[in-house]
Structure 1
């Protein structure tokens, strides 16, 4: 486990009581407007909707949510969602979000490694995927460092302004 200011970072499966904390992190990260596809105005989930979202993930044996916490405070998360069609049920994709004050500590790597271990032990999952904006060089380096490979690119997929487009890089790892 990593430590920040002598406080130990722990990882665990998320639960319904994390809904408000997760929602706060999501809104914080989306509001930064740097590496997310959504903008804050589009993100209007309530705590109850968040609870229902978490419940659906926890009830699906092909999905998981893992949170990182320090002294009981949720400071980051990784969510793995699976495809619902029979021919894609062996795959899924993840999203990671970490509070700004807790980045560059290795928490993202801890979360990804925990997810990959879960995926390796899951009898259904064979391929873990993600999408990352081409401008997010730190995230791309992290994903490559744990074995993810670029498998494609959606050119000018995300439009930030009239003349600013960003590619969406698709990456994967077989488990």
Structure 2
């Protein structure tokens, strides 16, 4: 049985009061160990640090953080961060996290679509980039279906065990 797009999801700009929910999702996704560079034992972000991080993003006209909300519960988020160097200020990259129970419902596509719309209307942003583990085939398929192109690959970038490595795939889309 395939899951359909959940049209009840609301995508909106995050506010400081979302910090706890955003942090909780981040902890849950990191605990899965399959999608992020961080592992649980090295992720020690406090609620105050999370609030400061969100505030910094919201205060920067070249950055944004969006949340997906279903029935007043935040179930995912996407953050776009830019580079402060002048020659790279037209570029930014995003990270996206969705609670496990809400994946494969179109929420990731909705978050990315809203981010791409924001970027297209932002006079400073010309290129949206991301990095994704080579093992994350669902995400890679989503990014490709949305027009992202692989521009590079860091071979054996992530050491998962003494004998297992993952590539870090770099993708982009011009807006």
Asked if TM exceeds 0.5, the reply is yes
5+ long unaligned stretches in structure 2:
none
Deviation of the 1:45 alpha carbon: 0.5
Among 3, 6, 13, the residue aligned to 2:6: 3
Mapped contact 2:158–2:168 kept (Cα < 8 A): yes
> Which residue in 1 is equivalent to 2:134?
134
Deviation of the 1:34 alpha carbon: 1.1
Render the CA deviation track for 1:84-124: whole Å, top value 9, x for unaligned: 10000000000000000000001000000000000000000
Q: State the distance in 2 between where 1:165 and 1:35 align.
A: 13
Q: State the distance in 2 between where 1:105 and 1:95 align.
A: 18
> Which residue in 1 is equivalent to 2:98?
98
Q: Report the number of matched residues.
A: 171
The answer to whether the aligner puts 1:30 opposite 2:33 as a matched pair is no
Q: State the distance in 2 between where 1:109 and 1:46 align.
A: 29
> Which of structure 1's runs of 4+ aligned residues deviate more than 2 A?
none
SS at match of 1:110: helix
Q: State the distance in 2 between where 1:42 and 1:147 align.
A: 34
Q: State the distance in 2 between where 1:35 and 1:57 align.
A: 22
SS at match of 1:3: coil
The answer to whether the aligner puts 1:82 opposite 2:82 as a matched pair is yes
TM-score calculated relative to the size of structure 2:
0.96
SS at match of 1:34: coil
Q: State the distance in 2 between where 1:120 and 1:92 align.
A: 12
Q: State the distance in 2 between where 1:119 and 1:72 align.
A: 26
Deviation of the 1:3 alpha carbon: 2.9
